[in-house]
Structure 1
């Protein structure tokens, strides 16, 4: 059984989502199905079909989260420090060609969201950055070709 790295914040967020799915969303969808059933013929009842589909998605997400909860390796990043990039580090990188700067925190795959500035430890970018430090250059293999970045800052927060 493979362990899945996750920050304490990410674990808390997913645990809260699981609790909401079980205690709120599950009950709401049961009521929606009952309401749709009361409208009569189920063979042509779009409300019923939509509610059953939503119920399936909720149950699938619950099953996925319950399966992963036991495999998570929760890492408290608040006590991390140092110069080298590791799981939990926040990095500022600059594209050598375009001078565009970006800031990312390296997190687990289940909490990564590039639009929120988090990137999975398993991504090509994070793999290129791990064990490097400020001032180092890295080449990231991207679908559009290799991209060279300079690491501007490394910090832990």
Structure 2
């Protein structure tokens, strides 16, 4: 059994759409590649056929992994999020104590993480360090560049 991951409704729908796409368009494209390679003659010396079969195996593995993720996925009701402390799907405004820079991040599952849109994984060093913190508390987070100190300024949902 895999570990349970929590998603926003939008994130879960995106994963479901990706799975449907892989099962329909993706499988059809690979079947075409295999058919084209098979039409080129002797399969024992056909590198294109071997490559297409390998691609098919990798594609099916990706489908299998995505199905496993979806079977362990749960939608987290954002209205039930406790904003007194940092948790999954919290929007956290933090201040770097060293340089005074302020940032706002939303803590999400690893699959939904996207730094450009301000979404960081709860499994990342910063995400782990912020979990459970309350407004006014300082999180000392060990990152590859050293230890960073962030003050939690605000928590929202």
TM-score range, shorter chain: 0.7 to 0.9
Q: CA offset at residue 11 of structure 1?
A: 1.3
The TM-score with structure 2 as length reference comes to 0.83
> Is the deviation greater in 68-77 or in 36-45?
36-45
The TM-score with structure 1 as length reference comes to 0.83
How many residues are aligned here?
A: 156
Q: Do the aligned residues in 1 keep the contact of 2:84 with 2:135 (CA within 8 Å)?
A: yes
| 1:110 aligned onto 2:106 | no
Distance 1:49 1:103 in 2: 48
Structure 1 gap ranges (5+): none
Structure 2 gap ranges (5+): none
Distance 1:75 1:130 in 2: 16
| 1:40 aligned onto 2:44 | no
Q: CA offset at residue 42 of structure 1?
A: 4.1
Distance 1:46 1:98 in 2: 56
Q: CA offset at residue 148 of structure 1?
A: 0.7
The 3-state SS of whatever aligns with 1:64 is helix
Q: CA offset at residue 13 of structure 1?
A: 1.1
**Counterpart position of 1:151:** 152
Distance 2:150 2:83 in 1: 20
Q: CA offset at residue 16 of structure 1?
A: 0.9
Mark the CA change 1:44 to 1:117 in structure 2 (over 3 Å): closer, same or farther.
Answer: farther
The 3-state SS of whatever aligns with 1:35 is helix
The 3-state SS of whatever aligns with 1:110 is helix
Q: CA offset at residue 46 of structure 1?
A: 4.6
Task: Note the aligned Cα RMSD (angstroms).
Answer: 2.3
Q: CA offset at residue 115 of structure 1?
A: 3.8
Kindly provide the CA deviation profile for residues 39-82 of structure 1, in whole angstroms up to 9, marking residues without a partner as x. 23445545434433322221111111112222222212255363
Distance 2:99 2:20 in 1: 44
Q: Do the aligned residues in 2 keep the contact of 1:8 with 1:77 (CA within 8 Å)?
A: no
Q: Do the aligned residues in 1 keep the contact of 2:83 with 2:90 (CA within 8 Å)?
A: no
